[in-house]
Chains A and B, each alone.
Chain A
């Protein structure tokens, strides 16, 4: 199965330039395999479009200032500053210093999670039983991909879950429920400073975060104002 099979409606012309939510020169176009990690530095002003190719695929995401990875995405700072737990267009993704790292500039879903964090072999044992410890988890992806950038367990904090739906009930009950995304749904993040984007294409198969079937996602980075070379 190719990317174009998954998004037939967006296969005409230059697919990346057409699929990107913000037009510009395409500087990166990659597919992240199901269950795999991914990372890239998105330069200030560039826009990362994430495409949920097959629908309801959680994309666990951490952000770091590329010049100083001790400045990293903070869920509390981000949600407190915007006054709301969910992310969508207009959400400014802030570091724990308060600095803006990226801004959601377009979103075809409307709700993304800031509370649920990452799955791991270890936490799977708490949630689903000891027999699930052998399964691959987002913590594995974050650690392995982060190590390529000099990061370690110390650098992991509460992450964003794009395309994942975690409501909080009036009594405080919260949990991962069926997603609101669909095949081909996209969101776009503009880098406010040079930002290291660390991703785990979530391998979880024990809850609805990936519709019980992990699938690939597509990453496109465009440079607005540089013109399309299609």
Chain B
């Protein structure tokens, strides 16, 4: 692990002279000496201090930059017009995503409408992520993976306990639902606010008899870009997909980068970003824009 601080072990009871933290002054100095360290998995604050992700977006433009640990989660509120890039750096990330509208979180990702309305179960470039209220929360605007899953959800406490013998967020095999619950709680939301989620970077297909075929990942470096149509709470868990057949818990870091890209909304609607949109998608954008117009946002 890079950059991890070497912390002196506290002294044994009574061994106060050997410990730097036996006094408030010592403890304070010890705490403050830890600042400025860099960990392998962390949120970069300010985001401009993050390493670049190898594309043309300058780090100075980042509004959110983070490396999510294997078995970790993260959450942020992002503005309309934000472009959010998720990267499976090492090939074993699985980004379970939920979106809630920031100013009315009962409006949230609705996986059923997201696959039914566009007549397509498999997510890829151009797919709208719809709420249950006839509006689009985000659009997939780039995808170099093509292996995603909108059907089988994330892992559960009971499922991970049975498979790995552990499931708690602090354990070696955190369950996705436990992680998403923590993310929701950070926004005053709870388990009632957790509908089925979608997973990026670990693909599942449906066979003609309705059974599932596991695709796994597309390998290291695959990325997905989402463009937000509304201010939204983003909940992300990065943990093993529940259908991952490997007996050992397997997960690798998830890279998160976001930047303002409001002009992409116009390019998307004009058909210049990902090509022509389906009529359902066009109508969802129209409904969303009409809602924002009524609110005085547009």
Contact = CB atoms under 8 A, between A and B. Distances in A.
A80 B112 contact: no
A96 B177 contact: yes
Contacts of B194: 96
Interface stretch (B60-68, B73-81, B204-212, B266-274): B204-212
Nearest to A118: B112
A98 B158 contact: yes
A206 interface: no
A166 B210 CA distance: 10
A161 to B, nearest CB: 9
A154 B112 contact: no
Contact of B156 (A77, A86, A129, A171): A77
B133 to A, nearest CB: 5
B196 A76 contact: yes
Interface string B208-239: 11111000000000000000000000000000
B186 interface: no
Nearest to B195: A157
A126 interface: yes
Contacts of A129: 283
A158 B133 contact: no
B134 A120 contact: yes
B4 to A, nearest CB: 36
B192 interface: yes
Q: State the main secondary structure of chain A at its contact with B.
A: loop
Contact of A126 (B112, B177, B283): B283
B29 to A, nearest CB: 46
B289 interface: no
A121 B152 CA distance: 27
A79 B116 contact: no
B115 to A, nearest CB: 6
Nearest to A158: B112
Interface of A: 70, 74-77, 79-80, 83-86, 96-99, 115-118, 120-127, 129-130, 139, 152-159, 166, 168, 170-176
Given A79-B152, A126-B117, A153-B107, 16 more contacts: A77-B153, A80-B152, A84-B210, A96-B153, A96-B177, A96-B191, A97-B158, A98-B156, A115-B115, A115-B151, A118-B112, A120-B133, A122-B134, A122-B287, A126-B283, A174-B119
Interface of B: 106-107, 110-113, 115-117, 119-122, 130, 132-135, 151-154, 156-159, 177, 190-197, 205-206, 208-212, 242-243, 280, 283-284, 287
13 contacts: A75-B112, A76-B197, A85-B206, A98-B159, A115-B116, A120-B134, A121-B134, A123-B132, A125-B134, A126-B283, A172-B205, A174-B116, A175-B116
